[in-house]
Amino acid sequence: MNGNLLELSNIRVSYGHAEVLHGVSLAIKPGSIVTVIGANGAGKTTLLNAVMGIVPAKGTILYDGASVPHSVEARVAAGLCLVPEKRELFSTMSVEDNVELGGFLRNASERAQTREELYTRFPRLAERRKQLAGTLSGGERQMLALARALMSRPRLLLLDEPSLGLAPKIVADILNIVSELRTTGVSILLVEQNARAALEIADEGYLVELGEVKRSGPAGELAVDPALMESYLGSPA
Amino acid sequence: MIATFLIQDGVTNGAIYALLGLALVLVFSVTRVIFIPQGEFVAYGALTLALLDNDRIPATTSLLLCFGAIAFLADLWSMRRGADVRAFTRSLALNLVFPAAIYGLTTVLVPLGLPSFAKALLTILIIAPMGYYVYRIAYRPLADASVLVLLIASVGVHLAMMGLGLVFFGAEGLRARPLAEANYTIGSLMIPAQSLWIYGSTIAIIIALYMFFERTLLGKALRATAVNRLGARLVGVRTQLTGVTAFTLAAAIGAISGVLIGPITTIYYDTGFLIGLKGFVAAIIGGLASFPITAVAAIGVGLIESFASFFASSYKEVIVFGLIIPVLVWLSLSHAFHEEE
């Protein structure tokens, strides 16, 4: 026990014979935001899926100092929650039902309380309670995916490309919400291609390339690293 | 005049097909299993009720004990790498104590000469848990298999249950006594009380299913699983939980259908399959996804069957099952084909 909420060591994931993660190690302290940045196909999504238990992984995943439970559902019960890149909403069900189902493992009073908090935080969703999730705009869907995840009262939120396909204004909104979440005690593992924006709100950063961690350190240091800037951040705005 | 009789007959059978069609849609949308053994639950239900009517202990109670024992062994096998006491006790209670309790209850109640409604309830109590055991034994180990593998498993379960039906009930057909003997006349139309039971139960079950799916969290979780399997797992809905619920509901609906149809037609150990297939025609018309279309289509299947048996009785089945072909052509033309997952 060394105070980390999540500790990955030497995580390897293979699809068939092709190994896509070659021993990734990473640690998240309670209440911090850690971001994993890197190009398309670097293995970022696979890493999140391994943490969530969607793909089988070799290596050790310690959660709260103990070995993480085996199944996806048991990990949700333990306080891990993934917002996947494709959102995976229940598109033919109402916004309200989507939010409600997020709290499937919580009791009725916890659900009612969290739901009210969330509708205050996301007034757009409150307005559209009765609408089907499939009819929402991209930004609203991302908010609904976040709200659904928060209904489970996670201790560690795994976010996969929350800014993907969204307008810059909405990206800023979403990332604002993410950094606010930290104040409520939720730790966050944020996977992003939008490296500059991610490093701005994160405490620690990891650069993943072709299934390996190439660089890691405090987000502030990575953001000003000249080599990194050239390949991932572009010239400063 | 003849037409009114045919319509009445068609609607009565159609109501039963509607129940079976709904159960098939329920199981498929939640678990991707095409539940061919659905009809066996109907036959088991009808035959169990008929035996209870003759004040005999139905063989299905012993069958339930066997199913429970096999499910218990399956649980033991999956616990071989270390078990915790809670899981073991739970499995023991669910798979051995529960069916034994139903067996005991049946042996105590049968000599008392129950009223017909109580016999119907007892029948449902005996048959519905079989849905759980069938899921535990045959489908749970295959939870991640493809639709094709699940279909093959269904054929196996269907053949096994039909064979067990022959062993336990024998080859002779049985007919149960109706829940109520009375007949009512409206104008020239005579409606037996049993038909009213059928209409009433079908409507009640449809309303109950609607409330379950719209109002309860578990019902919503089943819908969510049908809409987005991964999404449902990510909010902590266990595939097992939805599977168990879907199969137990389907078995209960099958048993109720059996109780309703047992008094109006003679049921043999293998009759269930054909009845189930007609529910399947309705479910196909509903695209294995839509509950309302399935229910309406089932009434249509019942009507077409009853008119076909009057005007072209030897082609009755051909006409009913031939209905699938234009529907499949229509569905394949109107929907872009996409393989799930």
pLDDT in tens, B234-275: 999 998 899 999 999 999 999 999 999 988 889 999 999 999
Establish if A189 belongs to a structural domain. Answer: no
**Nearest to B172, CA basis, from B278, B264, B258, B271:** B271
Average pLDDT over chain A, rounded to an integer: 90
Cβ–Cβ below 8 Å for A101 and B237: yes
- Supply the pLDDT for residue B178: 81
* Residue A90 contacts residue A98 (beta carbons within 8 Å): yes
Which residues are registered as beta bridge partners of A192?
A37
**pLDDT tens digits along A20-36:** 999 999 999 999 999 99
Nearest to A90 among B228, B233, B238 (CB): B228
From CA A168, how far away is CA B236, in angstroms rounded? 32
| Whether the predicted pLDDT of A235 surpasses 70 | no
Establish if A186 belongs to a structural domain. Answer: no
Domain that residue A223 falls in: 1-79+194-231
Which 17-56 residues of chain A touch chain B by CB within 8 A?
Answer: 52, 54
| Helical ranges in B32-172 per DSSP H | 38-53, 60-78, 85-92, 98-109, 116-134, 147-169
- Supply the pLDDT for residue A195: 86
Inter-axis angle of helices B38-53 and B147-169, nearest 10: 20
Phi, psi of B177 (to 5 degrees): -85, 145
Phi, psi of B36 (to 5 degrees): -60, -35
Q: Which two tokens stand for residue B318?
A: 């051909």
**Chain A residues near residue B234 by CB distance under 8 angstroms:** 52, 72, 76, 81-82, 84, 88, 149
pLDDT bin (cut points 50, 70, 90) of residue B338 is low
Q: ipTM surpassing 0.95, yes or no?
A: no
From CA B137, how far away is CA A135, in angstroms rounded? 40
pLDDT bin (cut points 50, 70, 90) of residue B341 is very low
**Chain B residues near residue A90 by CB distance under 8 angstroms:** 223-224, 227-228, 231-232
B232 lies within 8 A of chain A by CB? yes
Q: In angstroms, how far is CA A83 from the centroid of its own chain?
A: 6
- Supply the pLDDT for residue B113: 82
Cβ–Cβ below 8 Å for A105 and B231: no
| Whether the predicted pLDDT of B339 surpasses 50 | no
- Supply the pLDDT for residue A21: 92
Q: What is the CATH number of the domain that holds A21?
A: 3.40.50.300
| Whether the predicted pLDDT of A230 surpasses 80 | no
**Mean per-residue pLDDT for A88-109?**
94
Q: In angstroms, how far is CA B141 from the centroid of its own chain?
A: 21
* Residue B33 contacts residue B306 (beta carbons within 8 Å): no
**Nearest to A89, CA basis, from B222, B340, B232:** B232
Phi, psi of A209 (to 5 degrees): -135, 125
**Mean per-residue pLDDT for B302-310?**
91
**pLDDT tens digits along B11-60:** 999 999 999 999 999 999 999 999 999 999 999 999 999 999 888 889 89
- Supply the pLDDT for residue B155: 95
Establish if A146 belongs to a structural domain. Answer: no
| Whether the predicted pLDDT of A227 surpasses 90 | no
Which residues are registered as beta bridge partners of B65?
none
**Mean per-residue pLDDT for B303-327?**
88
- Poorest-confidence range of A51-60, B65-74, B106-115, B223-232? B106-115
pLDDT bin (cut points 50, 70, 90) of residue A167 is confident
Establish if A137 belongs to a structural domain. Answer: no
- Supply the pLDDT for residue A34: 95
- Supply the pLDDT for residue B136: 94
Cβ–Cβ below 8 Å for A97 and B220: yes
Say how many C-beta atoms besides its own lie within 10 A of residue A28's C-beta: 21
| Whether the predicted pLDDT of A77 surpasses 90 | yes
Choose from A38-52, B190-204, B243-257 the range with maximum mean pLDDT. Answer: B243-257
Say how many C-beta atoms besides its own lie within 10 A of residue B183's C-beta: 11
Percent of chain B with pLDDT over 70: 98
- Supply the pLDDT for residue A20: 92
Q: In what order do the strands lie in the sheet with A204-209?
A: A80-83, A156-160, A187-192, A33-37, A204-209, A212-218
pLDDT bin (cut points 50, 70, 90) of residue A2 is low
Residue whose entry in the numeric block shows the structure tokens 């009434």: B299
* Residue B95 contacts residue B75 (beta carbons within 8 Å): yes
Instruction: Please list the helix, strand and coil fractions of chain B in percent, rounded to the nearest 5, in that order.
Output: 75, 5, 20
From CA B211, how far away is CA B330, in angstroms rounded? 31
Per-position DSSP letters for B322-335, written without gaps between them: HTHHHHHHHHHHHS
- Supply the pLDDT for residue B175: 86
pLDDT bin (cut points 50, 70, 90) of residue A237 is very low
Q: Which helix (H) or strand (E) holds A97?
A: helix A95-102
B217 lies within 8 A of chain A by CB? yes
Phi, psi of A85 (to 5 degrees): -60, -40
Cα atoms found within 13 Å of the Cα of residue A14, Cβ hemisphere only: 6
Domains contained in chain A, number: 1
Cα atoms found within 13 Å of the Cα of residue B332, Cβ hemisphere only: 6
B213 lies within 8 A of chain A by CB? no
**Chain A residues near residue B237 by CB distance under 8 angstroms:** 73, 101, 104
| Whether the predicted pLDDT of A234 surpasses 70 | no
| Whether the predicted pLDDT of A1 surpasses 80 | no
From CA A7, how far away is CA A67, in angstroms rounded? 10
- Supply the pLDDT for residue B313: 81
Establish if A128 belongs to a structural domain. Answer: no
Say how many C-beta atoms besides its own lie within 10 A of residue B71's C-beta: 23
- pTM of the shown model: 0.88
Say how many C-beta atoms besides its own lie within 10 A of residue B305's C-beta: 23
Establish if A135 belongs to a structural domain. Answer: no
Establish if A39 belongs to a structural domain. Answer: yes
Establish if A28 belongs to a structural domain. Answer: yes
